[in-house]
Amino acid sequence: MRLRVHRVEGREVMKVYRLIPYDELAEVLRSDGAAFLESGEECRLKRGTVWRAARRLSELVGKTVRVERALLRFPEGETVEGYIFSVVEREAEE
C-alpha cells in the first residue's frame, strides 16, 4: 500500500486526530512524578488511547506509569477533567 498526499485547500477536514504530547508529559513525569492531561468536551480521549499512552510513557521514563481518570482544580476555582499519569515507585524487595 502506498501512502498518498492530498491537498486540503477547497476541501472539508472532518476530524482531526490529536497527538498526545509524549515529550512534554515524560519531562514532567521525570521531574514531578505526576502529570495531568486535560480531556474535556472538545477533545475526549478514549480509554484505550490513554492506556497505550501510559504504556509508552513507561518506556520513555524508564519506570511504570499508572493512569487514572481525575478532576483537577486550579487555585482560581476552575475544575477540568482528564487523566493523571503518575510514576509508580516500586517498594524495595527485602
Domains detected in the chain: 22-87 (3.30.1370)
**How wide is the angle at C-alpha 42 spanned by C-alphas 38 and 46, nearest 5°?**
65
Is pLDDT above 50 for 20?
yes
User: Alpha-carbon distance 23 to 31, whole Å?
Assistant: 13
Whole-number percent of the chain with pLDDT over 70? 85
Is pLDDT above 70 for 92?
no
Indicate the helix (H) or strand (E) that contains 83: strand 79-87
Higher pLDDT, 6 or 86: 86
pTM of the entire predicted model: 0.75
**What pLDDT is stored for residue 1 in this prediction?**
61
- Give the tens place of pLDDT for each residue, 70-86: 999 988 988 989 999 99
